[in-house]
Amino acid sequence: MKKNLVGNEIDVNEEGYLTDMSHWNQGIAQAIAKEEGIGPLTEAHMKVISYLREQQTKGAPLTIRSMGKSGLVTTKELYDLFPGGPLKKSSKIAGIPKPVGCI
Residues 6+ apart with CB under 8 A from 49: 29, 41, 90, 93, 94
Does 102 participate in catalysis according to the annotation? yes
* Of 21, 44, 46, 102, catalytic: 102
Please name which of 79, 93, 81 lies closest in space to residue 32, comparing C-alpha atoms.
93
Please name which of 54, 48, 5 lies closest in space to residue 25, comparing C-alpha atoms.
5
Active site residues: 102
